[in-house]
Structure 1
Amino acid sequence: MATRRSARLSAAASAESKSTIIAVEPAPPAPVPRGRKRKPTSDAPKLEAVSGVPEEETPAPATPKRRRAAKPKADAPPATPTPNNALLIGEPATTFETPKPKPAAVRRLADPTGTNAPLLSPETSRIVNRGAAISPSKAPLPGQVTTANILEEACRHLISVDARMKPLVESHHCRIFSPEGLSEKIDPFESLCSGIISQQVSGAAAKAIKRRFVGLFVDDAGNDNGNDDNDGHGSGHGRFPHPSQVAACTVEHLRTAGLSQRKAEYVRGLAEKFASGELSAQMLADAAYDVVLEKLLAVRGLGQWSVEMFACFGLKRMDVFSLGDLGVQRGMAAFVGRDVAKLKGKGGKWKYMSESEMREISERFAPYRSVFMWYMWRVEETDISTLE
């Protein structure tokens, strides 16, 4: 009996001991809200470390505002973009033909103040040359300017005006006025259309639109809809369409090539000018520069810069100068020794050099201002400081 009682008392004591241990076991720490970390002050961190509970009630975390991802910056346009944009204007008329061996450059009389490119008549494909051809066996007369030596003569003149032109001339070959460049046939209608197409779009986009534009006049069999000429310009490979073909199209049809409403209207209006004879390759070859400017500026879609680039790169006139071209202005400022990086942030159209100063400097290089302008696009690629 005593033994049983003793066992019961031992069991009770053991149970009481266990309950005591459980009662004094520390409770798990309360979860700490995950809010924005606050700067610790005085003894608050010590109290939090001991108790596991912040001294002040932390407000419920708010959803942080999402930051807009910064848009990747587009590559900055080149400082002198004009030559790239004008390349389409100066493309020879054989752009969409089957590749053929390049013919040897034909030596012709040249004129710094006139048209030096052989022009392809847009409707008849007749070649219009202002300068008479010279037999290869004939040596040029003393002082005679030809397509074979006009670039050399121009560069000699530029260096004689300003010695700083010498490293530019030695570093860069101006191909557009070389014997090879002056032998390339130019379709003036195609050249001017290319200028309109390339307005406010990249060079790659302009080429794609131009190719689709030519494709509008090529049938499913690859024939260019009767645009096949005796000189091989048709050849079923998409020669640029005749003005009469474009003038007969609706604006809506022209827009399917990717042209905007206005550009389609401009191209069609230009085609009407050529189809009616108001504009012609013969006129562009023979007329004085101020007449060419007047006639072309009257065409919707052709502004001063477009006409100047056409006269330079298309007609290969060697005494054209574009005062409104920012690349030329920047190049001229660097040419005379100004820090163009500091002038970049300056506002206004004439931030690198004034119009009157550009005119005054460029006039010294006449009658080869086109060549001088071309080299001004190359100034920042060449070290001319040694001659300053």
Structure 2
Amino acid sequence: MAYFAYGEKETDYLRRADPALGAAIDRLGHINREVVDDLFQALVNSIAGQQISGKALVTIWARICAAFEPFTPETVLRGGEQRLRACGLSGRKAGYILSAATAAQEGVLDPQAIAAMEDEAIIERLTVLPGVGRWTAEMLLIFSLRRPDVMAFDDLGIRRGLCRLCGAAEMTRELFAQYRARFSPYGTVASLYLWALAAEK
């Protein structure tokens, strides 16, 4: 199992950038968040998880992995919509996944090409796929491509954590942009702690 890698360089920078975040880092300690290096698998997992609970996704994902062995665009395309729906996916999600498998087979999700691209270019590339919006693309930047400076405004948990951090009643785009600039170039590590803050009782 692989985790998003960071260390003292990143946390020391964030401590200096924002004392409140620094206090949260010291209190919460190191956060392990799993990553999936295979971009196609990560994309399918993200599509499968849209608008369902984490618990439900665990069940459906286990069925998908069992149904497609090895898990590749080719095996998904061979299995088709019927096999995907048998795993508990809706027809719409099955269609999104088949579109993603076709794109992967055609080189749209070529790992080497994408690795050489800037974050915004990757987002543009991914969001042309059916069922993939900006938030999904940003989560793939973090949890598959391991990009270091991602803070997603569209993520409710990140906004909630940031409100708790700074004591704001709501998070405007303007205020978010200020914190985004403050935490750069380690916005992803900041996001890990903002999620943890949002999850606290």
Distance in 2 between the 1:246 and 1:378 partners?
34
Report the counterpart of residue 316 of structure 1 in structure 2: 146
1:167 aligns with 2:38: no
Paired-residue identity, %: 29
Q: Specify whether residues 280 and 328 from structure 1 end up closer, same or farther in structure 2 by C-alpha distance, changes over 3 A only.
A: same
- Give unpaired runs (5+ residues) of structure 2: none
Q: How do 1:6-17 residues align onto structure 2 when only pairs under 5 Å count?
A: none
1:194 aligns with 2:45: yes
On the 8 A contact 2:138/2:152 being kept in 1, the answer is yes
Given candidates 166, 173, 176, the residue that maps to 1:355 is 173
On the 8 A contact 2:142/2:150 being kept in 1, the answer is yes
- Cα deviation digits, residues 159-203 of structure 1 (max 9, x gap): 111112222111221224xxxx6xx76211111100001111111
Distance in 2 between the 1:329 and 1:254 partners?
34
Report deviation, 1:372.
1.2
Structure 2 counterpart of 1:359, which letter?
A
Report deviation, 1:253.
2.8
On the 8 A contact 2:96/2:130 being kept in 1, the answer is yes
| 263-272 vs 367-376, which moves further | 367-376
1:271 aligns with 2:127: no
Distance in 2 between the 1:202 and 1:164 partners?
31
- Cα deviation digits, residues 286-325 of structure 1 (max 9, x gap): 2111111111011111111111111112211110110112
On the 8 A contact 1:154/1:371 being kept in 2, the answer is yes
- Cα deviation digits, residues 59-85 of structure 1 (max 9, x gap): xxxxxxxxxxxxxxxxxxxxxxxxxxx
Report deviation, 1:380.
5.6
Q: Specify whether residues 321 and 254 from structure 1 end up closer, same or farther in structure 2 by C-alpha distance, changes over 3 A only.
A: same
Distance in 1 between the 2:54 and 2:198 partners?
22
- Give unpaired runs (5+ residues) of structure 1: 1-90, 93-104, 106-116, 118-146, 218-223, 228-240, 344-351, 383-388
Structure showing greater radius of gyration is 1
| Superposition CA RMSD, Å | 2.2
Q: Specify whether residues 270 and 333 from structure 1 end up closer, same or farther in structure 2 by C-alpha distance, changes over 3 A only.
A: same
Structure 2 counterpart of 1:371, which letter?
V
- Cα deviation digits, residues 125-150 of structure 1 (max 9, x gap): xxxxxxxxxxxxxxxxxxxxxx6xx5
1:154 aligns with 2:5: no
Report the counterpart of residue 186 of structure 2 in structure 1: 368
On the 8 A contact 1:247/1:269 being kept in 2, the answer is no
Structure 2 counterpart of 1:334, which letter?
R
Report the counterpart of residue 155 of structure 2 in structure 1: 325
Given candidates 257, 261, 283, the residue that maps to 2:113 is 283
On the 8 A contact 2:17/2:183 being kept in 1, the answer is yes
Q: How do 1:25-44 residues align onto structure 2 when only pairs under 5 Å count?
A: none
Q: Which consecutive aligned stretches of 4+ in structure 1 deviate over 6 angstroms post-superposition?
A: none
Distance in 1 between the 2:60 and 2:164 partners?
36
On the 8 A contact 1:284/1:292 being kept in 2, the answer is yes
For the residue of structure 2 that corresponds to 1:248, the secondary structure is helix
Aligned length: 199
- Cα deviation digits, residues 206-242 of structure 1 (max 9, x gap): 111112122223xxxxxx4xx4xxxxxxxxxxxxx11
On the 8 A contact 2:77/2:101 being kept in 1, the answer is yes
Larger fraction in helix = 2
Structure 1 counterpart of 2:171, which letter?
M
